[in-house]
Amino acid sequence: IQMTQSPSSLSASVGDRVIITCRASQNIWTYLNWYQQKPGRAPNLLISGTSTLQSGVPSRFSGSGSGTDFTLTIGSLQPDDFATYYCQQSYNSPWTFGQGTKVEIK
């Protein structure tokens, strides 16, 4: 299953609402996860099962979608949110990641 994220990168300001989309090449129901990765660090799970926010993740992050189209929304971008975000499907093996979306400071 191929996962395609858009955009590949974006520039935004603190306080902006940011939306990242992820499209699967086939129906993956809601088996979709989102990870955040900062330079030199391991990825960090933000959202599992399309919309379940992980413990400790700020509520400004939210996820939605089903089937083939999904979104990650950052309600009000904060300085700590500048990072690369990856979607990942776990509907079947091999699990696959999107190519990543780099969120940069405008």
Partner 1 sequence: EVQLVESGGGLVQPGGSLRLSCAASGFTFSSYWMHWVRQAPGKGLEWVANIKKEGSEKYYVDSVKGRFTISRDNAKNSLYLQMNSLRAEDTAIYYCGREGDCSGTRCLAIDSWGHGTLVTVSS
Which amino acid is residue 14, in one-letter code? V
Go through 33-71 and write b for each residue having 16 or more CB atoms within 10 A of its CB, e for each that does not. Answer: bbbbeeeeeebeebbbebeeeeeebeeebbbebeebebb
Residue with tokens 């975000």: 85
For residue 2 the two structure tokens come to 């191929």
Among 20, 24, 33, 61, binds partner 1 (CB under 8 A): 33
Note whether 39 binds partner 1 by CB under 8 A: no
Note whether 95 binds partner 1 by CB under 8 A: yes
Note whether 100 binds partner 1 by CB under 8 A: yes
Note whether 94 binds partner 1 by CB under 8 A: yes
Note whether 73 binds partner 1 by CB under 8 A: no
Among 1, 12, 45, 57, binds partner 1 (CB under 8 A): 45
